[in-house]
Amino acid sequence: MYLLGCLLLEELLYNKWDSAILCIKELANNLFQQEIFSFNYSFDNLQYGFYKILNSLQQICIQKPQNWINYRLELDKVYLYYTEITNTKITTRLNEKALIEKIGKHLNDSILVPFFAINLSHEITKIDVLLRENTEGSSVWNFLKYLKSIIQNTDKKKVEKKSLEIELKKLFPNKNPQIIDKIINSMNKPTDYVKAFELLSRKDNDNLLDRLMFACSKLQGDKKYWGNNANENDRNRYIANLLESADYTVKDQPQWSTSAEGKDSGEIDIFITEPNGSPMSIIEALILDSLKQDYLVNHLDKLFKYDTTGLENNYIITYSLAKNFSSLWNRYQKFISKHDYEYQFIDFKQLTTFNYTDIKIGIARHMRNGKEINLYHILINLVY
């Protein structure tokens, strides 16, 4: 019951009204069954109060004021739903009442105020008419006065940006939230909204990094890729398939350039190209259960040899089977910062933009023929 309620809250907070309707129906069905099979059931309890709040919230947020013909009737409905949220009485336990009140306040501030500010901003004249029709100080009059104050005092531009943020995070669920926030904060005029969508849709390195980290997290979440359950090629193919499903042009283990020994063409684990076929990034992968320096150096050198054009961003993924993941990462960072590369090493920085504890990522900068290039190092813990 509570798990379903939490899921429903998440759907409502992200304006997923269609799926919220299904959750509310399921919650109502669970409450109905609970009443049938209980000898001492009371509708004046936490679960039912929670349901009334969420149902009323959903009923308000599917309103379309621009389609209202009888605005008196429709605003009366909104008022009734609103009172369900703000005036739910819980008498069983004080802590339950406090919880319901806190939930109601949070949903009011996070969802209702933005909804009223955006959708009723053009209805202020009609609200004034209704204020004159109702007795001053009555509950309906107070509600209408409250609506008017929200419309007049809320920073609509700020609310619209917040709503846009929610929508963009729905459209780009795997995009780093910090990147979305940065783009939204840079917007100053309506035309920037289209630009924001274009930026988030663009197949640049930021997008590739987001999709690659998402693929790594999905691989880590599937236990058939843990330990010795899978080999390197299986893991590489899984990541390549997820990148391809995100509309990246992926060539899995193509023949490109020379091998590490400088003889025939070598195999690149994953090769990302632009839509026109020009190279974009190389992804090299390996498995480590400890810091095998010669093995790691072989893959590092191999990646630079494969990259004949000097791509701006390349990646090396390490599937870690080490018993002590943190220790391996610390030793790994120290080693790659001291290794003598073909191209001058500038520095290495661990990235903190991704909130994973068992996936580490850092970026090493190198100087190649007068141009700065980046090699991203990703370490995934795949130990039971």
What distance in Å separates the CA atoms of residue 298 and residue 176, rounded to the nearest whole number? 32
Confidence at 41, pLDDT banded by 50, 70, 90:
very low
Confidence at 265, pLDDT banded by 50, 70, 90:
very low
3-24 per-position pLDDT tens digit: 655 666 666 666 665 666 666 6
How many other β-carbons are positioned within 10 Å of the β-carbon of residue 178?
11
What distance in Å separates the CA atoms of residue 315 and residue 179, rounded to the nearest whole number? 20
- What's the pLDDT score for residue 339? 92
- What's the pLDDT score for residue 258? 41
The winner for highest mean pLDDT among 128-142, 145-159, 175-189 is: 128-142
What distance in Å separates the CA atoms of residue 165 and residue 161, rounded to the nearest whole number? 6
Structure-block tokens of residue 383: 């130990």
**Nearest partner of 326 among 358, 370, 365, 281, judged by Cα:** 358
More confident residue, 185 or 374: 374
100-124 per-position pLDDT tens digit: 666 666 667 777 777 777 777 777 8
Please name the amino acid found at residue 356: Y
Q: What percent of the chain has pLDDT over 90?
A: 30
3-class secondary structure per residue, the chain: CHHHHHHHHHHHHCCCHHHHHHHHHHHHHHHHHHHHCCCCCCCCCHHHHHHHHHHHHHHHHCCCHHHCCCHHHHHHHHHHHHHHHHCCCCCCCHHHHHHHHHHHHHHHHHHHHHHHHHHCHHHHHHHHHHHHHCCCCCHHHHHHHHHHHHHHHCCHHHHHHHHHHHHHHHHCCCCCHHHHHHHHHCCCCCHHHHHHHHHHHCCCHHHHHHHHHHHHHHHHHCHHHCCCCCCHHHHHHHHHHHHHHCCCEEEECCEECCCCCCCCCEECCEEEECCCCCEEEEEEEEEECCCCHHHHHHHHHHHHHHCCCCCCEEEEEEEECCCCHHHHHHHHHHHHHHCCCCCEEEEEEECCCCCCCCEEEEEEEEEECCEEEEEEEEEEECCC
CB 298 within 8 A of CB 260: yes
Residue 269 φ then ψ, to 5°: -60, -55
Confidence at 30, pLDDT banded by 50, 70, 90:
low
Is the pLDDT score of 154 beyond 80?
A: no
**Has this prediction a pTM greater than 0.85?**
no
- What's the pLDDT score for residue 256? 42
62-75 per-position pLDDT tens digit: 777 777 777 778 88
**What residue segments make up the domains of the chain, in order of their start?**
2-154, 166-202, 205-381
**Nearest partner of 301 among 316, 288, 320, judged by Cα:** 316
Strand partners, 203: none
Q: Is 15 left (phi over 0), alpha (psi -120 to 50) or beta?
A: left
How are beta strands 371-381 and 313-320 bridged, if at all? parallel
More confident residue, 157 or 38: 157
Please name the amino acid found at residue 42: S
First to last CA, the chain: 31
What integer is the mean pLDDT of 181-192? 72
